[in-house]
């Protein structure tokens, strides 16, 4: 869960988020090496007192400093495209959930079951233990199962976002966006609308609870 002094990523709770964190670390290491390399040459150039007035060009150096950046970009692009395709693939989801954004709350529909739909409103400060991040009806999902999430909006553009599982989807009126996720462990995961959608944009949190399949079936039977 994010705290006021949280500067890094939240702990990953899905395979996709693990891949995103690994890609971030991979890219940051490349950037740090490039930055140190450039700083070293800038320092050496400043401290160097020698000049060569007759030097006009050097084809070998120009070829090298063209090929090396291209190779570095390939090192970054390949894992990036791999994660992008993994995020877009739908591998036989066990259930489908539809998320609908409103001003200013979320509603959910379980498309595979009859008459399972509910609204999710933020609780007041007196009712919640975590300010601005608690709702009256949580989104319940089974852990270790592939789940497809659909999202749209009834009014303005919203964004359904859960950072700890690596999901951020725009909820656009008249359009349905889809993605998939697989939560690795049980727990409660929180997010917020990530698109400025009006006066109460900060008051429509997202709370997902991941539970075992048996408990999920018992929860479904309550409806």
pLDDT tens figures, 128-155: 777 888 898 899 999 988 899 999 999 8
Q: Is the dihedral of CA 83, 87, 88, 91 positive or negative?
A: positive
Q: Is 120 helix (H, G, I), strand (E, B) or coil?
A: strand
Name 112's Cβ contacts closer than 8 Å, sequence gap at least 6.
95, 96
Beta bridge partners of 188: 209
Confidence (pTM) = 0.78
Sequence-distant (6+) residues with CB within 8 A of 8 are: none
What confidence tens digit (pLDDT) does each residue in 9-57 have?
A: 888 888 888 888 999 999 999 999 999 999 998 898 888 877 777 777 7
Residues paired with 219 in a beta bridge: none
């Amino acid at each position: 869960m994010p705290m006021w002094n949280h500067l890094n990523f939240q702990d990953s709770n899905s395979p996709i988020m693990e891949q995103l964190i690994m890609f971030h670390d991979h890219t940051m290491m490349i950037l740090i090496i490039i930055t140190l390399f450039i700083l070293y040459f800038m320092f050496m150039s400043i401290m160097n007192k020698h000049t060569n007035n007759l030097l006009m060009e050097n084809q070998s150096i120009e070829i090298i400093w063209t090929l090396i950046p291209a190779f570095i970009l390939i090192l970054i692009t390949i894992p990036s495209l791999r994660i992008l395709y993994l995020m877009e693939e739908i591998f036989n989801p066990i259930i489908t959930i539809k998320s609908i954004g409103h001003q200013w709350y979320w509603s959910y529909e379980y498309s595979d079951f009859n008459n399972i739909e509910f609204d999710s409103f933020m609780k007041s400060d007196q009712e919640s233990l975590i300010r601005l991040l608690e709702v009256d009806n949580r989104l319940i999902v089974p852990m270790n199962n592939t789940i497809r999430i659909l999202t749209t909006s009834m009014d303005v553009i919203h964004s359904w976002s859960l950072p700890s599982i690596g999901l951020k989807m725009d909820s656009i009126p008249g359009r349905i966006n889809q993605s998939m996720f697989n939560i690795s462990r049980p727990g409660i995961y929180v997010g917020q609308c990530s698109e400025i959608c009006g006066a109460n944009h900060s008051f429509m949190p997202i709370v997902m609870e991941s539970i075992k399949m048996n408990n999920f079936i018992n929860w479904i039977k309550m409806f």
